[in-house]
């Protein structure tokens, strides 16, 4: 018999991310808020981040990441998890890297994004059956942005959501558990960037979002704007009080994040005034839900 996920407290949230640092740039304030409120929050990190480039000029000369990027990022992930107040598990796959060139080169053999789905999803199915999350957070079909590891992270999250409760699937990975809700993160929603852009302009400050917004808003020859997002926002979690925590966690990923860069262009206080939420799309729910929502656990409390 499939285990029921309609148990009372403690509530459990599982966020599936491609690389160490993704958890801090997507949904981090939400996770910190829920963790502070007593929710058991776990991040599943699919890959080791070993093929990431150094993005922070201040780290360029440091020997550890040049010698052992995966080891450096493991330490960064540990610090970020402590800051957010969450737990974290590695799924054990190798970073695929971001292919560049025309035509694009093939991905490295054996990397996460090259694997058959059943092999890539099995460790996550095992983790879902062990951790028993009520809610799973993931990326959309485009991976949030089209990095091959992000797209594969989306695929394994959906596979685990569908398969973990079926005793016939993935034998040997534990007792079945059926999560109740699946969400896609909308960290890069145009609505949020538009609000932050106008907040900066109204304050007389230069906005780094103008070029991105122009691309999003650019109309075609007949004057039509781009179609709405495939998965519109259904759920906004008010988590502005945890924006500083999120920023501290992001800065913990020193190899990947420039503390003077794009992510920190708008102060936490200005963000609280302009857009104090993190946005999600409810994709699947096995419990009754009324939209719009303000809580990922709506219908479960």
Torsion 25-189-33-199 (CA) sign: positive
Q: Are residues 214 and 109 in the same domain?
A: no
Q: Which domain holds residue 281?
A: 12-188+277-285
Q: What is the pTM of this model?
A: 0.92
pLDDT tens digits, the chain, 301 residues: what are they? 444 445 466 999 999 999 999 999 999 999 999 999 999 999 999 999 999 999 889 888 888 988 999 999 999 999 999 999 999 999 999 999 998 888 889 999 999 999 999 999 999 999 999 999 999 999 999 988 889 999 999 999 999 999 999 999 999 999 999 999 999 999 988 899 899 999 999 999 888 888 777 776 665 555 555 556 689 999 999 999 999 999 999 999 999 999 988 889 899 999 999 999 999 999 999 999 899 999 999 999 9
Q: Are residues 112 and 38 in the same domain?
A: yes
Distance CA 30, CA 249 (A): 13
Q: Are residues 204 and 124 in the same domain?
A: no
Distance CA 275, CA 268 (A): 10
Contact 192, 25 (CB under 8 A): no
Strand order across the beta sheet in which 235-238 lies: 87-93, 40-47, 12-17, 135-138, 181-185, 277-285, 235-238
Q: How many separate domains does the chain show?
A: 2
Helix then strand then coil, % of the chain, to nearest 5: 40, 15, 45
Q: Are residues 124 and 207 in the same domain?
A: no
Q: Which residues pair with 183 in a beta bridge?
A: 137, 282
């Amino acid at each position: 018999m499939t285990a029921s996920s309609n148990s009372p407290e403690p509530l459990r949230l599982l966020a599936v991310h491609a690389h160490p640092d993704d958890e801090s740039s997507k949904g981090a304030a939400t996770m910190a808020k829920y963790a502070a409120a007593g929710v058991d929050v776990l991040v599943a990190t699919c890959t080791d981040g070993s093929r990431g480039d150094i993005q922070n000029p201040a780290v360029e000369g440091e020997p550890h990441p040049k010698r052992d990027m995966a080891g450096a990022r493991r330490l960064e992930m540990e610090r970020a998890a402590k800051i957010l107040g969450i737990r974290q598990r590695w799924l054990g796959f190798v970073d695929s890297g971001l292919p560049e060139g025309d035509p694009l080169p093939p991905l490295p053999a054996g990397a996460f994004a090259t694997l058959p789905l059943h092999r890539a999803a099995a460790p996550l199915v095992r983790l879902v059956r062990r951790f028993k999350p009520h809610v799973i957070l993931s990326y959309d079909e485009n991976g949030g942005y089209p990095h091959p590891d992000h797209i594969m992270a989306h695929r394994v999250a959906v596979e685990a959501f569908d398969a973990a409760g079926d005793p016939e699937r993935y034998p040997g990975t534990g007792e079945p558990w059926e999560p109740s809700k699946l969400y896609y993160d909308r960290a890069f929603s145009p609505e949020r960037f538009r609000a932050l852009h106008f907040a900066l302009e109204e304050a007389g400050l230069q906005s780094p979002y103008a070029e991105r917004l122009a691309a999003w808003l650019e109309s075609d020859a007949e004057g039509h704007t781009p179609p709405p997002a495939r998965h519109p926002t259904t759920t906004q979690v008010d988590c502005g009080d945890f924006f500083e925590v999120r920023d501290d966690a992001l800065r913990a990923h020193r190899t990947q994040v420039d503390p003077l860069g794009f992510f920190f262009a708008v102060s936490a206080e200005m963000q609280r005034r302009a857009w104090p939420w993190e946005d999600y799309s409810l994709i699947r729910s096995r419990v009754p839900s009324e939209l719009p929502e303000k809580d990922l656990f709506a219908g479960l409390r």
